[in-house]
């Protein structure tokens, strides 16, 4: 099962992509981007009130939700977010302490995974050059669709050194970029608990569809 674990809809301040736009695009491009579901990871926010079941049914695509928060070790994707987590941490704070986030989110039943680790300033790799490694990190975003040349390549070293698993996400902010990088899970996933379980202990790998997308454009 292939999921894009990192996407931003127009609920994020820097994205103009409607969720339904992503779903229509995937429906149309499934042969090029064979993604079964997406995870919306809006910047610095969480709301338990939204419900996408109607869209899931209409487009036959799994829609899960997480969040992208900002910490002293760069940006971190949270999966399995709960209202308790949102009360524990002010998601709008761009100075969250990464170690607390990783430890507490894990304790509360979720998983915190550094994203685009190879990026300057907001990626884990740069912070590991001057600060101790975080304890409790299980996986990082090994493949990010929004990264510049060299940034994804930089992640390999950290994964090897610390034994992190790697997943992929498009980091789409525009409709046409959804699913360009994603994660292929050995198991089927049908809800957020399943995603957290698989990210913690399951088998998965990052998959890159960028070349296929470029080829399809002609």
Partner 1 sequence: MADPLPEIDRDLIGREFDRTVSKPVSAERMIRYARACGETNPRYLEDGPNLVATPTFPITVRRERFVPEGIPMEVMYRGMDAGKDVEIGVVVRPGDVLTGVGSLHDIYDKTGRSGKLRFVVLRMVVTNQRDEMVAVIDQRMMFR
Question: What is the rounded end-to-end Cα distance, in angstroms, of the chain?
Answer: 27
* 130 binding partner 1? (CB under 8 A): no
For the bound state, the minimum distance from the C-beta of residue 94 to partner 1, rounded and expressed in Å, comes to 5
Nearer to partner 1, 36 or 171 (CB): 171
By CB under 8 A, name the one of 54, 57, 121, 149 that touches partner 1.
121
Query: In this chain, which of 58, 92, 153, 186 binds partner 1, going by CB under 8 A?
Result: 92
Among 8, 29, 43, 173, binds partner 1 (CB under 8 A): 43
Judged by CB, which is closer to partner 1: 37, or 169? 169
- Asked if residue 122 binds partner 1 (CB under 8 A), the reply is yes
Stretch that binds partner 1, among 70-78, 79-87, 157-165, 166-174 (CB under 8 A): 70-78
Q: Is 18 in the site for partner 1 (CB under 8 A)?
A: no
- The minimum distance between CB 181 and partner 1, in angstroms, equals 18
Check if the beta carbon of residue 33 is closer than 8 Å to that of residue 66.
Answer: no
Q: Which of 74, 70, 77 is nearest to 129 (CA)?
A: 74
Identify which of residues 37 and 117 has a Cβ nearer to partner 1 in the complex.
Answer: 117
- Residue 214 exposed, middle or buried by CB count within 10 Å (0-12, 13-18, 19+): exposed
Q: What is the closest distance, in whole angstroms, from the C-beta atom of residue 3 to partner 1 in the complex?
A: 25
Task: Note whether 108 and 136 are within 8 A (CB).
Answer: no
Residue 75 is a binding residue for partner 1 (CB under 8 A):
yes
Among 24, 30, 44, 197, binds partner 1 (CB under 8 A): 44
Shorter beta-carbon distance to partner 1: residue 120 or 157: 120
Binding site for partner 1 (CB under 8 A): 13-14, 43-44, 70, 74-75, 92, 94, 119-122
């Amino acid at each position: 099962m292939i999921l894009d674990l990192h996407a931003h809809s127009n609920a994020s301040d820097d994205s103009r992509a409607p969720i339904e736009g992503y779903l229509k695009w995937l429906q149309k491009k499934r042969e090029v981007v064979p993604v079964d579901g997406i995870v919306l990871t809006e910047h610095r926010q969480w709301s338990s009130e939204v419900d996408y079941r109607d869209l899931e049914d209409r487009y036959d695509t799994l829609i899960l939700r997480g969040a992208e928060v900002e910490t002293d070790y760069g940006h971190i994707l949270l999966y399995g977010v709960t209202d308790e987590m949102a009360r524990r941490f002010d998601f709008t704070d761009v100075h969250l302490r990464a170690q607390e986030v990783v430890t507490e989110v894990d304790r509360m039943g979720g998983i915190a995974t550094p994203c685009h680790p190879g990026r300057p300033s907001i990626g884990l790799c740069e912070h590991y050059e001057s600060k101790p490694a975080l304890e409790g990190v299980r996986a990082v975003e090994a493949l990010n669709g929004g990264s510049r040349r060299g940034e994804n390549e930089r992640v390999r070293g950290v994964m090897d050194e610390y034994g992190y698993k790697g997943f992929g996400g498009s980091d789409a902010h525009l409709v046409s970029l959804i699913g360009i990088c994603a994660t292929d899970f050995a198991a089927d996933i049908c809800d957020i608990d399943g995603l957290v379980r698989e990210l913690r202990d399951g088998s998965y790998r990052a998959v890159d569809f960028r070349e296929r997308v470029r080829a399809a454009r002609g």
